[in-house]
């Protein structure tokens, strides 16, 4: 091992204590090691067992090779500051072992001290590869490959690798973790790779199993395999927030049919999620993809049957979106510093979480506030959403959300480009005609109970833009969807602008909403069903586009909600203002309608007596043009 004289003395002393302690008969026989904090250079070859010391500072400015028969142990909390360039990497040769013993509170970290990239950790094993026995790697003349599927190259736990991916030649780069024919006897748990210029982990054959893997902003592929890798990848979380990456998964070569269990990949910038070349494939369960333009790419027209997803042949027409199958909080040990994951809202919130208005957040998938948890969003927070069916925020029954916008600093949730998203969904414990623990039309959300005064939190000064993505052939999301939300929930100053479906829809419950603004929602600005019986106060609706449905649509059993000061304007001089289906109705005071062809439509010939306007039964022949709420009351949403 090439190092300093202090380093040589230290390793001799360490060997004396750990390997041949009986020979150390007196204090005079024990060499003195370096002081804690001493800087030691790692480079050259390790031909016998060596253990580092976490109290020392290590640098890696060249190649460190653990030779066959030797072992390198790196204890918890060790930091290795690497240089950059092609020849800076750690290689565990075939027949050698490495034991990286990080912990959640003290992971092992390998990272350059400055800009640039390095070669990461490379391990060569004796397991099988389609390249045969003693294949030669593309770097360093490394030999790998044999016949021992259960080969053991050691143990790697709680390791963070940053800025890997140095260029080898015109066609090849290093990865963060490179596994050449590594066997299943090797332990690989809790590994995180950040900001690499090539792949996160690449398997060249072998049968290695990797559990709890986190990859963020790898410029090529987060997970890559070839040469017939047949191991198992369990609980992988991939995040892309930088453009021009290649894939979340790239597979190539003969199909070793590896298994991926619980794989969550999130992109805020589009791109390809899973790419399979030649005849490669995999068996995947627990797949969640968010934000990708392409879900499955069979680059060489290989057989889709080689890629099994949730027990079926892969279908490139399916987005495979849905709630995260891996909890990103499992990787808090790696992401607390220098990570973009805290800027991305996805998965489940199970505790109390408060956002930071100085951070620009993205919502590429489903964010679920679970029962017993609270999400707080301060004034001025901006959340840029993805688009599509599985991009929405849901507050589950028993969960709480506090959106604390102000008139001068509202909270804004909107896509960055074209397309619609699913908006904000809240499930409560109030009454609905669907009964207790009803199932919503989206996401299997459970709602409904007996607590009329249920409290799901507080929402003030919230702007929702471009909502209404399609759920199925018959249903779409709304801007604000309220499933059996109770009367103690505070809903004030909410604006829905440019939605492809409803502005707000009440599914039962007793929620009260004050100061609601809806512009150009393509279906109904305000919709209710399932016996909603709350109060809607001070509402302004404006339609500037043709082919909308209504300003108000009501359906189902009449819960007789109260509407106070409701103004609606159709600048197209078309459309229906108020539509009541089944036996629905309402008590309305202060109604102002302008520009609608139809004022009141009793679609199913329900009793007009159920619709009371300014103390009298509703009359389809009356214009109802008395001035009430004016648009200027909502200047906070239109500025």
- In the prediction, which pLDDT does 473 show? 64
- Give me the residue spans of the domains in the chain: 63-331, 351-558
> Do the bridges between strand 352-354 and strand 374-378 make them parallel or antiparallel, or are there none, so unpaired?
parallel
Q: What six digits make up the tokens of 375?
A: 């999400």
**SS3 of 328, please?**
helix
pLDDT score for 34: 59
Provide the residue count of the chain: 639
Question: Per CATH, the architecture of 63-331 is what?
Answer: 3 Solenoid (2.160)
The pLDDT value given to residue 475:
74
- Whether residue 162 contacts residue 183, with contact meaning beta carbons closer than 8 Å, is answered with no
Q: Say if residues 35 and 9 touch (Cβ distance below 8 Å).
A: no
pLDDT digits (tens, 9 = 90+) for 397-433: 999 999 999 999 999 999 988 899 999 999 999 999 9
Do the Cβ atoms of 484 and 506 come closer than 8 Å? no
Cβ atoms of 567 and 540 within 8 Å: the answer is yes
| Among candidate residues 416, 471, 464, the one with its CA nearest the CA of residue 443 | 471
pLDDT value of residue 191:
98
Contact 613, 588 (CB under 8 A): yes
Q: How far apart are the C-alpha atoms of 153 and 209, rounded to whole Å?
A: 12
pLDDT at 21: 24
How much is the pLDDT for 336?
Answer: 80
Structure token digits, residue 569: 């304007």
Distance CA 527, CA 49 (A): 72
User: Do 359 and 390 contact (CB within 8 A), yes or no?
Assistant: no
What is the C-alpha R_g of the chain? 30
All residue ranges of the chain with pLDDT < 70 are 1-38, 473-474, 629-632
- Identify whether the C-beta of residue 225 lies closer than 8 Å to the C-beta of residue 342: no
């Amino acid at each position: 091992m090439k190092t300093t004289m202090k380093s040589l003395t230290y390793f001799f002393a360490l060997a004396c204590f750990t390997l041949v302690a009986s020979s150390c008969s007196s204090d005079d026989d024990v060499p003195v090691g370096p002081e804690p904090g001493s800087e030691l250079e790692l480079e050259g070859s390790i031909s016998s067992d060596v253990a580092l010391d976490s109290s020392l500072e290590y640098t890696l400015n060249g190649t460190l090779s653990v030779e066959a028969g030797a072992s390198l142990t790196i204890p918890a909390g060790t930091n290795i500051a690497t240089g950059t360039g092609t020849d800076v990497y750690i290689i565990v040769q075939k027949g050698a072992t490495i034991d990286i013993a990080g912990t959640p509170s003290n992971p092992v970290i390998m990272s350059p001290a400055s800009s640039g990239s390095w070669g990461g950790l490379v391990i060569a094993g004796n397991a099988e590869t389609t390249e045969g026995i003693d294949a030669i790697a593309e770097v360093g003349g490394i030999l790998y490959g044999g016949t021992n599927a259960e080969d053991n190259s050691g143990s790697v736990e709680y390791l963070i690798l940053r800025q890997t991916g140095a260029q080898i030649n015109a066609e090849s780069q290093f990865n963060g973790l490179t596994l050449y024919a590594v066997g299943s006897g090797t332990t690989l748990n809790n590994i995180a790779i950040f900001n690499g210029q090539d792949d996160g982990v690449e398997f060249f054959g072998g049968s290695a199993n990797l559990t709890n893997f986190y990859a963020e902003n790898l410029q090529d592929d987060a997970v890559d395999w070839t040469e017939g890798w047949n191991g198992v990848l369990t609980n992988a979380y991939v995040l892309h927030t930088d453009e021009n990456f290649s894939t979340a998964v790239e597979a190539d070569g003969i199909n070793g049919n590896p298994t991926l269990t619980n794989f969550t990949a999130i992109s805020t910038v589009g791109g390809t999620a899973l790419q399979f070349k030649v005849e490669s494939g995999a068996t995947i369960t627990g797949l969640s993809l968010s934000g990708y333009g392409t879900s499955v790419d069979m680059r060489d027209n290989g057989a889709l049957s080689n890629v099994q997803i949730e027990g079926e042949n892969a279908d490139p027409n399916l987005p495979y979106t849905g709630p995260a199958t891996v909890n990103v909080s499992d990787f808090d040990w790696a992401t607390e510093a220098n990570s973009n994951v805290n800027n991305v809202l996805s998965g489940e919130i199970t505790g109390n979480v408060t956002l930071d208005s100085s951070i620009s957040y993205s919502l590429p998938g489903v964010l679920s506030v679970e029962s017993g948890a609270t999400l707080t969003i301060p004034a001025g927070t901006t959340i840029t959403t993805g688009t599509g069916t599985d991009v929405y925020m849901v507050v589950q029954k028993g969960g709480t959300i506090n959106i604390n916008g102000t008139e001068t600093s509202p909270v804004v949730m909107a896509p960055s480009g074209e397309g619609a998203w699913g908006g904000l969904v809240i499930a409560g414990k109030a009454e609905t005609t669907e009964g207790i623990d009803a199932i919503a039309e989206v996401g299997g959300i459970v709602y409904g109970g007996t607590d009329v005064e249920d409290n799901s939190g507080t929402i003030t000064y919230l702007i929702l833009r471009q909502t209404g993505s399609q759920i199925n052939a018959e249903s779409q999301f709304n801007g604000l969807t309220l499933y059996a939300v109770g009367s103690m929930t505070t809903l004030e100053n909410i604006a829905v602008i440019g939605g492809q479906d409803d502005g707000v829809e009440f599914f039962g419950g007793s929620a009260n909403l004050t100061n609601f603004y809806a512009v150009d929602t393509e279906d109904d600005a305000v919709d209710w069903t399932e016996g909603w019986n709350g109060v809607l106060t001070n509402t302004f609706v404006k339609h500037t586009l043709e082919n909308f449905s209504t300003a108000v649509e009501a359906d189902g059993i009449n819960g007789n909600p109260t509407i106070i000061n409701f103004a609606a304007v159709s600048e197209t001089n078309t459309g229906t203002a108020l539509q009541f289906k089944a036996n629905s109705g309402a008590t309305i005071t202060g109604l102002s309608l302008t520009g609608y062809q139809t004022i009141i439509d009793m679609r199913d010939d329900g009793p007009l007596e159920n619709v009371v306007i300014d103390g009298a039964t509703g009359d389809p022949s009356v214009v109802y043009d008395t001035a009430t709420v004016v648009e200027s009351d909502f200047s906070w949403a239109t500025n």
